[in-house]
Amino acid sequence: MSLELWFAHVVAEITARWNNTTTTELFWLGVGFGAQTMFMMRFVIQWLASEKARRSVVPEAFWYWSLAGGFMLFVYAVYRMDPVFILGQLSGLFIYARNLQFIRQSRREGRELMRDGLKPAE
């Protein structure tokens, strides 16, 4: 099969599938693509923060984007009933939430030190 015939076959197949897609399925595809985009944004934020600092850094926003995108992907995985995807996203949600808890705890300790007239460690 020539490349042109193969390409025409792929386009025809995608068109046929698209035309047979229900509104519900289109909604869930939108959720899936939106979730994946949100999840990807954490890497963009981390990369830009590292470029600015000229060293590897993980900004707080990374964890918020991870939590939001991971939750959306978890919901999408539940809709798809994919146990591997469900378990993978669920375990990630705990990690993202735990890192945000560490950040809040560190800020609270820093405020307490400053209230006592001490300088927090960097």
| pLDDT tens readout for residues 34-81 | 888 888 888 888 889 888 988 878 889 989 999 999 999 999 999 989
Residues 5 and 13: beta-carbon distance below 8 Å:
no
In three-state secondary structure terms, 58 is coil
- Does residue 44 lie within any of the structural domains? yes
Question: Is residue 14 domain-resident?
Answer: no
Structural domain boundaries enclosing 36: 22-115
Structural domain includes residue 1: no
Question: For position 114, what pLDDT does the model report?
Answer: 74
In a domain, 3, yes or no: no
Residue 32 lies in a domain: yes
Cα torsion angle, 14, 19, 22, 26, sign: positive
Counting residues of the chain whose pLDDT is more than 90, the rounded percentage is 26
Three-class DSSP category at 72: helix
Domain count, the chain: 1
- Please say if the pLDDT value at position 119 is more than 70: no
Whole-structure pTM over 0.75, yes or no?
A: no
**Residue 122 confidence (pLDDT) above 60:** no
